[in-house]
């Protein structure tokens, strides 16, 4: 397991143990996990974003902390939030992250996740010129998600 996966799993466990709220001291967590503090920052900025259903607050200084709160919404509200967060373009990796987050938060079931992933795969866009694929992927993903609301 990669260090970023270990850090993310640790933070998710903290969130689960404290009803969706975790206050993290970056240096302490880095020391406990045997990594550098910048690894904690990387994981938080890449995996705990508003699009993925989290609010992150931080306070710098000697008593500083990072507070992560899991946003609790209805599945329909969460899907609308995701739709609104998608710009004109969407790359395959970002689509996969959104699909995995919706599945892990039980917003969609496994079959729906598999269908969405198939529609977002590079294989689906092989006949489309490279420069247009991310535009088309964004449009299709938004339309598919709208059908779930």
Indicate the residue among 70, 94, 114 that finishes a domain.
70
What pLDDT, in 10s, does the model give residues 87-141? 999 999 999 989 998 898 889 999 999 999 999 999 999 999 999 999 999 999 9
Considering the domain architecture, whether residues 125 and 93 belong to the same structural domain is answered as yes
Considering the domain architecture, whether residues 56 and 85 belong to the same structural domain is answered as no
Indicate the residue among 50, 70, 90 that finishes a domain.
70
DSSP string, 16-59: HHTTTEEEE-HHHHHHHHTS-HHHHHHHHHHHS-GGGTEEEEEE
For the segment 38-56, the average pLDDT, to the nearest whole number, is 85
How many separate domains does the chain show?
A: 2
Considering the domain architecture, whether residues 97 and 48 belong to the same structural domain is answered as no
pTM score of the predicted model: 0.62
Cα 72 to chain centroid distance, Å, stands at: 14
pLDDT at 55 > cutoff 90: no
For the segment 42-63, the average pLDDT, to the nearest whole number, is 81
Considering the domain architecture, whether residues 131 and 88 belong to the same structural domain is answered as yes
What pLDDT, in 10s, does the model give residues 3-25? 888 999 999 999 989 888 899 88
Domain membership of residue 59 as a residue range: 3-70
How many Å apart are CA 115 and CA 71, to the nearest integer? 25
pLDDT of residue 120: 97
CB atoms within 10 A of CB 108: 21
Indicate the residue among 24, 39, 70 that finishes a domain.
70
Q: What is the CATH number of the domain that holds 41?
A: 3.30.56.130
Considering the domain architecture, whether residues 65 and 82 belong to the same structural domain is answered as no
């Amino acid at each position: 397991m990669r260090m970023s996966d270990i850090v993310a799993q640790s933070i998710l466990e903290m969130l689960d143990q404290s009803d969706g709220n975790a206050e993290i001291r970056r240096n302490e967590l880095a020391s406990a996990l045997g990594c550098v503090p910048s690894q904690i920052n990387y994981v938080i900025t890449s995996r705990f974003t508003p699009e993925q259903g989290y609010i992150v607050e931080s306070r710098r200084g000697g008593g500083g902390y990072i507070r992560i709160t899991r946003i609790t919404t209805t599945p329909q509200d969460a899907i609308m939030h995701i739709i609104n967060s998608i710009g004109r373009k969407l790359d395959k990796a970002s689509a996969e992250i959104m699909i995995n987050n919706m599945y892990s938060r039980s917003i969609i079931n496994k079959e729906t996740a598999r269908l969405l992933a198939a529609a977002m795969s590079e294989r689906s866009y092989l006949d489309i010129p490279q420069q247009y694929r991310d535009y088309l992927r964004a449009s299709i993903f938004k339309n598919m998600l709208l059908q779930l609301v």
